[in-house]
Structures are given as C-alpha cells and as structure tokens.
Amino acid sequence: MIEIKDLHKSYKMGSNSLHVLKGINFKVEEGELVAIMGSSGSGKSTLLNILGMLDGADSGEYTLDGVPIKNLSETKAAQYRNKFLGFIFQSFNLINYKSALENVALPLYYQKVPRKERQEKAMQYLDRVGLKPWATHHPSELSGGQKQRVAIARAMAAEPKVLLADEPTGALDSKTSYEVMDLIQKINDEGNTILVVTHEEDIAHMCKRIVHLKDGVIVEDKKIEQVRAEQYV
C-alpha cells in the first residue's frame, strides 16, 4: 500500500539546514495498523506529513497504492489527499461553526458528492463511531473523545486508502484514549490501513507493528502482539 525508498528531508533554519529524515525505507501492506514512535525531533511528524502529501520530500521515492507521489501541484496534492488519505489530528481540527454531521460531510463535499448522498453517507459514518444522536451538535458541545470520534468519522467518510493519525490520543485522558484506540482497532479489523504517530508506549502496543524512529532513521521495525483496547474501556 505504502512504499518508501531512501527518503530524505531537511529543513533550512537560517544559514544551517536541519537534516530531519536521513534515508527512510519503509513498506506498509494493506490492512496494517502501524505505530510510528519516536521522541520529539525524531522526524516522525515530518514522515507523516510527507506521507500525507502535506510536505514534499527532498529525495527518495514514495508510492501510494501504486501511484508515485512526486512533484505534486497543490491542486493535485489536494485531490490525492482527498482520494487516498484520511487525517486524524491531535487537536481534532474540526471546523467549529459546523455541526458534527457537516464536519463529516466536508471531504465528500470536496469529492463533489451530491448533497443528499453526502448527508446520508456522513450520517452512516457518524453512526459507526456511535455519534448519530450528536449529528446536529457543534464541536463546542462535544467532549474531547467525541470530537476525536467525529474526526475519525470525517477521515473515513471519503473512504481513503490509508488513515493517518497524528497523535490521535495526545489531547485525551487515558480512558478516552483507549476508547479512541478501540475505535481505531475496529476500523483496522475491517481491513483499513492505518498509521498512528504516537510517543505513548501503551498506545503503540495497541497497533500491530511498531516503527521506531530516531534522529531521522528507522532504528527498529517489529511486528507485535496487539493489545486490544477493548479490555480497558
């Protein structure tokens, strides 16, 4: 599903440049649930941004579902993001003047799905994260866990190839974190490919594979026995 070969990325910081990713080689198969771990500054967010086409790599190859991702225009990148990727952010990033339903429907709007169909589909996904009764509520009326579930529904609404979660539990207490992870696991159970960036060990162990980044290189890449979040909920 995802294939990265010798990926390099550096940032210019004034006169000196900061080499963040120093040759990443990495492959994700369909249906995997991968945790990308690392301390801050290890390059894990940069990697996720490149995977999410929010940022470009300096060199290296990136193939997503057989499509080479290289030198994309902003418009093309936006279209690919919409088609291939679903984003889950640490701070949820819901649009606060839109209801839960409208937030979920937004990616479908950019897919030019007709309004009625959009609403139905969004409602369907909202139902899947268990928030159907909250459809008309605005983000300010939702708890953190609920917000993240709306965000997950939104990420899934466009039926992307890969879900990218950047510290999805970073802003949540542990109980809510497990609820969210439980949801992510269930989505993965249905065959969706998910990448989770985290620095929390327990969250990482709820995935099926952990990739450890340190100073811009992968230091460890291992399959693990998945800890089900269900038991903590």
Report whether 42 contacts 215 (CB < 8 A): yes
Residues 58 and 39: their CA atoms lie apart, in Å, by: 22
What is the per-residue binding string for another protein in 153-192, x denoting contact by CB under 8 A? -x---x----------------------------------
The three-class DSSP label of residue 27 is strand
The CA distance from 69 to 104, in Å, is: 26
Q: Which of 8, 109, 215, 232 binds another protein (CB under 8 A)?
A: 109
Shortest Cβ distance from residue 132 to another protein (Å)? 21
Region class of 89: left (phi > 0), else alpha (psi between -120 and 50), else beta:
beta
Strands 59-64, 2-13: pairing is: antiparallel
Q: Is 147 in the site for another protein (CB under 8 A)?
A: no
Rule CB under 8 A: say whether 81 interacts with another protein: yes
The interface region with another protein, picked from 15-23, 31-39, 87-95, 125-133 by CB under 8 A, is 87-95
Min separation Cβ 223 and another protein, Å:
30
Nearer to another protein by Cβ, of 123 and 158: the residue is 158
Q: Does 67 bind another protein (CB under 8 A)?
A: no
Query: With contact defined as beta carbons under 8 Å apart, do 60 and 4 qualify?
Result: yes
Task: Please tell me whether residue 95 binds another protein under the rule CB under 8 A.
Answer: yes
Is 49 one of the binding residues for another protein (CB under 8 A)? yes
Q: How far is 169 from 158, CA to CA, in rounded Å?
A: 22
Strand order in the sheet with 217-223: 85-88, 162-166, 193-197, 33-37, 209-214, 217-223
Interface pick for another protein out of 17, 39, 59, 91 (rule CB under 8 A): 91
For residue 66, give the DSSP letter. T
Nearer residue to another protein within complex by CB, 89 or 232: 89
Binding site for another protein (CB under 8 A): 49, 52, 54-55, 74-75, 78-79, 81-83, 87, 89-91, 93-95, 97-98, 106-107, 109-111, 115, 154, 158
